[in-house]
Amino acid sequence: MNQPQRVLITAAASGIGHAIAEAFHAAGAQVFICDIDMEALARVRDELPGVHIAECDMSQPEAIAGMIQAGTEALGGLDVLVNNAGISGPTLAAEDLPLEQWEQVVQINLNGTFYTTQRAIPHLKQSAAGVIINMSSAAGRFGYPNRSPYCATKWGLLGLTKTLAMELGEYDIRVNAIAPGAVKGERIHHVLEGRAEQAHETLEQATEDALAKQSLKHFVDPANIGALAVFLASDAAQSISGQILPIDGDLQSN
């Protein structure tokens, strides 16, 4: 592409989203990010000169609509949408799960992604090479005991990805999903703490159990996920759509 890509990434002030923002910024893209944490957003703006930021509660459709408008105005259009926003939710058996916690995970992980995409599609149709990347998870490929809302939403994102790829192909918009396994950082630490508590074992045992189920015995580096996102948005991936790309150290099961 001759012009810098115009990229919007949700929940990108930390974690995987931040790594994706760093990767696109390093590749020369114009980047707009949103997050609910304004202080973290300000830090990213200082770290990555030229990045546009906006505060957004991804559980609120009206806030998402305003964010998409602000993003497309700041970027002068949109070429790439990365739907990264999502929460882990509780580690509880389904029968013990409060309904409001189920609804919170569904509202942010699945509904928020849909609202964002719906608002972004008209802008992506104006792009010469529109791309949507949905951040699913290994939890979208396997079931995980005591993680029912998280798994349900991540499986749901795969169905959304496949459907959008079919709907938007005629506009040359490519839609794919990235499915990371356990990623280095604060989130996996909290998840493993929850597993350890449920299994009445130590955090070290829970960590060892998690790594035993994958061929590569280390957690995923967020920078690798950023690099994969940049590839999927590049001309080198112009014939890849409707796919789920695991990046999980060859995870074999839950």
Residue with tokens 């942010």: 108
Q: Is 171 an active-site residue?
A: no
Give the span between the Cα atoms of 93 and 95, in whole angstroms: 6
Residue 193: CB partners within 8 Å, gap ≥ 6?
203, 206
List beta partners, residue 30.
6
Choosing from 115, 144, 150, 171, the catalytic residue is 150
Query: Is residue 213 exposed (0-12), middle (13-18) or buried (19+ Cβ within 10 Å)?
Result: middle
Tell me how crowded residue 75 is: count the other CB atoms within 10 A of its CB.
21
Residue with tokens 């280095």: 184
Kindly report the CA angle at 111 between 108 and 113, in degrees rounded to 5? Answer: 80
Q: What are phi and psi of 240, to 5 degrees?
A: -105, 115
Rg (CA), the chain: 18
DSSP state string for 136-160: --GGGTS--TTBHHHHHHHHHHHHH
- Three-state SS for 3? coil
Catalytic residues: 150
